[in-house]
Amino acid sequence: MNKGLNQLIILFKENFGLFLSISFGLFLFVLFFQPFPLDHFDFNDRLLFVAGLSGIVFLFLVLIRIPFLLIVEKKNLSTQESSFLFYLSGFLILALSSVAFAFYLHYVGIVGITFFIMSKVCLICLVPAVVTGLYDLINELKQENEALVKEKETAQKQVEKYEEDNLNKSIEFISENNSENLSLLVSDVAVIKSADNYVEIVFKEENHFKKKLIRNTLKNIEQLLKPIPDFARCHRICIVNIRYIEKLHHNYNGHWLTIKGYDGQIPVSRQYLLKFKETN
């Protein structure tokens, strides 16, 4: 019992500002636009009477809205079920507030209840239902956005882990006759160039670039590197590690790359340019 009461108090505190804003807004509207004939009241009595109208709205917001919120929170309902309950609470607020308004206007304000007056009453009482509905929609969108942000963060962490694992992989560059081999981490290999019957591997070791010739073809090396997304063919004689790219340049002679910390230009042919731009 105490737990349920505590939850009601917490929900009331969380929604007090919203309820008060709606009630005060209606108070100001009725006071300044005077949708009902209240000329027989002096100014002070009119203030009290209008405050009573806004008090009715506040009361029904508390009596209807808080229990519905408690049900949604306790039952852990689906989105559709929660939406139905919120629509139902909005309808009840509209219906009960309209009836209470009509009685209050007739018996306290001595206002004749006509179809025109009831239309105004219903429109005014529709405001709390619409505002709370919009409030629920905004909260729902916020929750969905938070869920998407968390999902994105999780996916980003998975991508980063995959990239880190990928960079820590070793590549075995083996000559065609198996006479020599070179084992390097993906993160260390910057550029691979074709050099006649050899390939020249440019790699980083202790913050300095070094070169190594292996007897093999660039085609074979490309097949070896195919499962690793960090490498892209940029020319018929060159494969580059996209993580080392500093900038793509171009002039009337063509396109070329500069590599971070490496002296020399890496050519980019038209054949691979579009695909290479997509890769970057």
Kindly report, residue by residue over 139-177, the tens digit of the pLDDT.
Answer: 888 988 999 999 998 888 888 787 777 777 888 888 888
The one-character DSSP state at 181 is E
CA 146 to chain centre: 6
Q: Is the model's pLDDT at 94 over the cut of 70?
A: yes
Q: Which pLDDT does position 264 carry in this prediction?
A: 81
Give ranges for CATH 2.40.50.1020 in the chain.
170-279
pLDDT in tens, 224-247: 888 888 888 888 899 999 888 888
d(CA 270, CA 127): 63
Q: Which residue has the tokens 């209240």?
A: 38
Q: Which pLDDT does position 14 carry in this prediction?
A: 87
Contact 239, 229 (CB under 8 A): no
Mean of the per-residue pLDDT values of the chain: 86
Least confident of 68-82, 94-108, 121-135, 259-273: 68-82
Amino acid at 15: N
Share of the chain above pLDDT 70, in %: 96
Contact 206, 261 (CB under 8 A): no
pTM of the model: 0.61
What is the number of other CB atoms lying within 10 angstroms of the CB of residue 37?
Answer: 13
Domain 170-279 in CATH 2.40.50.1020: yes
d(CA 68, CA 89): 7
Distances (CA, A) of 101 to 60, 76, 92, 110, 117: 11, 34, 14, 12, 10
Q: Is the model's pLDDT at 82 over the cut of 80?
A: no
Q: Locate 18 and state its tokens.
A: 């919203």
Q: Which residues contact 127 (CB under 8 A, 6 or more apart)?
A: 22, 25, 26
Q: Which pLDDT does position 55 carry in this prediction?
A: 93
Cα-flanking dihedrals φ and ψ of residue 240, to 5°? -130, 145
Distances (CA, A) of 57 to 33, 89, 100, 121, 213: 18, 13, 9, 12, 84
